C-alpha cells in the first residue's frame, strides 16, 4: 500500500486521493519560451496518456497543466476500470453502421490493457485490483446486460459472466439487486496515483511537465503555439486535453460538450470483517441505472461511494446529500459510520455519450467527452492522439468521423433540457420499464 503523503497535496481538491497519494511536490510553472514537437494542454489521463505514448515514440513533449497533474476528473473519479464506452456497441452499430461498431469493438478493451501494461512496465503503485460487477435492480436491466454480454462475446470479450440473484452476494452484500454481470477484465485503481505514475514515466523518457501553467491562448495556424501568462511554447503539434475544465479557451469545441459533476465520498476505515462482508470479491460495483451509483473498497478498507449528477457542473450544497442516503439504501448496516472525505469533480458529457476527437486546425488536435466512463477510453484516445502525431492516423480517422452534435437549447438551455431527459430516464429506472 502507498505511504501516506505527509502534506495535503496543495493544489488538489481535498479528497481521499489527495490525502493518500504518493507524495509529490508541485512541478515548476512554465516561464519563457520553448520549442518542442508536441505541446499538450491538460495533465489528466488523456493528456498524460498521449504524453507517455509520444515520449515512448521519441517525440519531444511539453505538457502545460493549469493546476496539478490529476487535478481534474482523472485525480478525483471512482477509480473504476470499466471497459467499453458510455453507449453499448449495438447502439453504436445502429447509429454509425457495422464497420464503425466493429472498429470501436476492436478497441474497446485496449484502454484497460494500457493501464495494466503501464502499471507493470513502470512499476506504478496505484492499488490496482482486478474485476468489476454491474448490478441490476430489475429483470429488464438483467436482460439488457445479457444482450450486451452476447454482443461483446461475439466481438471477442471473454471476461463476462452473468450472475444470478443467489450469486450476487459473492460480489456485493446488498439485497437491492436481482442479479448482474461480472467483468473479469474490469478492476479498480487509485486514479491520482495512476496519473502521477504515468506522468513520472513520461518525464523519465524526457517529457517536460509544467504545473500551475494555465494556457490562455492557442494560436492555431501553420506553426501553432500556445501562450500562458508567463511564456510561449512553439510546437509542431498541439493536443487540447482540457476536457470539462477547458472553460472558454476554445469555444468551438467547448460547445460540443457539457461539464457534469459527480460526487464521491469515503468512509472511515472499516474493520476487515465489515468491508469483506460488504464486498467479498473486492470487485468494483456500478449499478445499471441511468444516474448510477458506483462504489468499491479502497486499499485501506474504506468504502468509496460515488453517484449524483449536476448538469452544467453544479453540485448540491451538501456534497453527501444525494450519495449518503443511496449508500445507506445499499448498505443499511453502515448507518452511523463516519464519512471522512467528500468531494466532487466534473467530467465532460457529449450529446451522444461517445468521446469526441478531431482537429481545430491543421496540427491542433483535441479529444474530450468520455462522458461517465473515461478511465479506460482516455488511455486509449491518448494513445490514438499519439499515433496520429506519429503519422499513423487510421484509428484517429475512425474516431474523428463519428458525428458529434451541439446540445439542444444552446448554452442557455442545454442544462435544463438535459436534466429533463435524465429525469425521464430516472422515472423509467424506478418503474423498471
- Judged by the rule CB under 6 A, the positions of this chain that interact with ligand FAD are 41-47, 64-67, 71-74, 76-80, 82, 214-215, 241-246, 249, 262, 264, 294, 306, 345-347, 368, 370, 372-376, 378
E-assigned strands of 43-104? 61-64, 80-81
Residue 172 beta carbon to ligand FAD: minimum distance, rounded to whole angstroms? 16
Contacts of 34 (CB under 8 A, 6+ apart): 62, 208, 231, 232, 233, 234
Instruction: Rank residues 239 and 431 by Cβ distance to ligand FAD and give the closer one.
Output: 239
Residue 343 beta carbon to ligand FAD: minimum distance, rounded to whole angstroms? 8
Instruction: Rank residues 28 and 166 by Cβ distance to ligand FAD and give the closer one.
Output: 28
Residue 106 beta carbon to ligand FAD: minimum distance, rounded to whole angstroms? 19
Instruction: Rank residues 59 and 347 by Cβ distance to ligand FAD and give the closer one.
Output: 347
Residue 202 beta carbon to ligand FAD: minimum distance, rounded to whole angstroms? 14
Residue 98 beta carbon to ligand FAD: minimum distance, rounded to whole angstroms? 26
Contacts of 254 (CB under 8 A, 6+ apart): 246, 247, 248
Instruction: Rank residues 32 and 391 by Cβ distance to ligand FAD and give the closer one.
Output: 32
Instruction: Rank residues 59 and 71 by Cβ distance to ligand FAD and give the closer one.
Output: 71
Question: In this structure, what C-alpha cell is assigned to residue 415?
Answer: 442544462
Residue 80 beta carbon to ligand FAD: minimum distance, rounded to whole angstroms? 3
Residue 296 beta carbon to ligand FAD: minimum distance, rounded to whole angstroms? 8
How far are the Cα atoms of 46, 360, 383, 384 from residue 364, in angstroms, in the given order?
A: 15, 6, 16, 14
CA angle 57, 58, 60 (to 5 degrees): 125
Contact 57, 383 (CB under 8 A): no
Instruction: Rank residues 58 and 247 by Cβ distance to ligand FAD and give the closer one.
Output: 247
Which of the 8 DSSP states describes residue 67? S
- Which residue number places its CB atom closest to ligand FAD? 374
Give the other-Cβ count within 10 Å of 134's Cβ. 28
Which of the 8 DSSP states describes residue 43? -
Instruction: Rank residues 159 and 178 by Cβ distance to ligand FAD and give the closer one.
Output: 159
Q: At what angle do helices 139-154 and 89-96 cross, to 10 degrees?
A: 70
Amino acid at each position: 500500500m502507498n505511504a501516506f503523503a505527509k502534506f495535503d497535496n496543495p493544489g488538489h481538491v481535498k479528497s481521499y486521493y489527495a490525502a493518500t497519494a504518493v507524495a509529490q511536490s508541485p512541478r515548476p510553472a512554465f516561464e519563457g519560451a520553448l520549442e518542442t514537437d508536441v505541446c499538450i494542454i491538460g495533465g489528466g489521463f488523456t493528456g498524460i496518456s498521449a504524453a507517455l505514448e509520444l515520449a515512448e515514440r521519441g517525440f519531444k513533449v511539453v505538457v502545460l497543466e493549469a493546476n496539478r497533474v490529476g487535478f481534474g476528473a482523472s485525480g478525483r473519479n471512482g477509480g473504476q476500470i470499466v471497459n467499453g464506452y458510455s453507449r453499448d456497441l449495438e447502439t453504436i452499430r445502429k447509429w454509425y453502421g457495422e464497420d464503425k461498431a466493429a472498429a470501436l469493438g476492436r478497441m474497446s478493451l485496449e484502454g484497460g490493457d494500457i493501464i495494466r501494461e503501464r502499471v507493470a512496465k513502470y512499476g506504478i503503485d496505484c492499488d490496482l485490483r482486478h474485476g468489476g460487477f454491474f448490478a441490476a435492480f430489475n429483470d429488464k436491466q438483467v436482460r439488457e446486460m445479457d444482450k450486451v454480454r452476447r454482443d461483446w462475446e461475439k466481438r471477442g470479450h471473454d471476461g463476462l459472466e452473468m450472475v444470478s440473484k443467489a450469486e450476487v452476494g459473492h460480489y456485493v452484500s446488498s439485497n437491492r439487486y436481482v442479479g448482474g454481470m461480472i467483468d473479469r477484465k474490469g478492476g479498480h485503481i487509485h486514479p491520482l496515483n495512476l496519473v502521477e505514475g504515468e506522468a513520472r514515466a513520461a518525464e523519465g523518457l524526457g517529457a517536460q511537465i509544467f504545473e500551475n501553467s494555465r494556457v490562455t491562448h492557442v494560436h492555431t495556424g501553420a506553426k501553432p503555439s500556445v501562450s500562458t501568462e508567463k511564456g510561449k511554447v512553439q510546437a509542431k503539434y498541439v493536443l487540447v486535453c482540457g476536457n470539462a475544465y477547458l472553460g472558454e479557451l476554445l469555444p468551438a469545441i467547448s460547445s460540443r460538450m457539457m461539464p457534469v459533476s459527480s460526487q464521491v465520498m469515503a468512509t472511515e476505515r472499516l474493520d476487515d470483517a465489515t468491508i469483506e462482508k460488504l464486498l467479498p470479491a473486492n470487485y468494483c460495483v456500478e449499478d445499471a441505472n441511468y444516474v448510477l451509483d458506483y462504489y468499491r473498497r479502497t486499499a485501506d478498507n474504506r468504502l468509496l461511494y460515488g453517484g449524483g449528477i449536476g448538469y452544467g457542473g453544479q453540485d448540491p450544497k451538501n456534497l453527501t446529500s444525494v450519495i449518503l442516503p443511496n449508500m445507506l439504501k445499499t448498505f443499511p448496516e453502515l448507518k452511523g459510520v463516519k464519512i471522512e472525505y467528500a468531494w466532487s469533480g466534473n467530467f465532460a458529457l457529449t450529446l451522444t455519450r461517445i468521446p469526441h476527437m478531431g482537429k481545430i486546425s491543421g496540427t491542433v488536435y483535441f479529444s474530450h467527452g468520455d462522458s461517465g466512463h473515461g478511465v479506460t477510453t482516455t488511455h486509449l484516445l491518448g494513445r490514438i492522439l499519439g499515433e496520429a502525431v506519429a503519422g499513423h492516423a487510421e484509428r484517429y480517422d475512425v474516431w474523428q468521423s463519428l458525428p458529434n452534435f451541439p446540445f439542444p437549447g444552446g448554452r442557455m438551455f442545454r442544462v435544463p433540457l438535459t436534466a429533463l431527459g435524465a429525469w425521464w430516464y430516472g422515472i423509467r429506472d424506478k418503474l423498471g420499464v
